[in-house]
Amino acid sequence: GAVVSQHPSWVICKSGTSVKIECRSLDFQATTMFWYRQFPKQSLMLMATSNEGSKATYEQGVEKDKFLINHASLTLSTLTVTSAHPEDSSFYICSAHTDAAQPQHFGDGTRLSIL
């Protein structure tokens, strides 16, 4: 149980393109979903936390107009990287949990490459 599906797993696109990444909890209802960014050989860096039906809470230094998060249902959250540039290239990972006393379960990540 506790499966989180993330799609796409890899995307390559031109600079200036907007890219949408989906995160779905397949067998549980996720009251909260999280979006992380990971650079090579580094740990995960939290970008934002989203609760179903509410606006996302962004970490300091993360541009909310650049990284649009929508959490429209208890099983789906999306991250849209708007007008992506090469410096946005990274590994993006989502996670979800049912409540704060339960562990987060992670998707398999999306490798984003902006040319």
Partner 1 sequence: QKEVEQDPGPLSVPEGAIVSLNCTYSNSAFQYFMWYRQYSRKGPELLMYTYSSGNKEDGRFTAQVDKSSKYISLFIRDSQPSDSATYLCAMSGNRGSTLGRLYFGRGTQLTVWP
Q: With respect to partner 1, which residue has the nearer C-beta, 48 or 81? A: 48
Q: Answer for the pair 92, 108: CB distance below 8 angstroms, yes or no.
A: no
Q: How far is the CB of 10 from partner 1 (least distance, A)?
A: 9
Is 42 a residue that touches partner 1 (CB under 8 A)? yes
| DSSP three-state, residue 103 | coil
Q: How far is the CB of 67 from partner 1 (least distance, A)?
A: 18
Q: With respect to partner 1, which residue has the nearer C-beta, 19 or 93? A: 93
Q: Answer for the pair 42, 24: CB distance below 8 angstroms, yes or no.
A: no
State which of positions 44-103 bind partner 1 (CB under 8 A).
44, 46, 49, 91, 93, 95, 97, 99-101, 103
Q: How far is the CB of 113 from partner 1 (least distance, A)?
A: 12
The helix or strand, by DSSP H or E, that contains position 6, with its residue range, turns out to be strand 4-7
Q: Answer for the pair 75, 51: CB distance below 8 angstroms, yes or no.
A: no
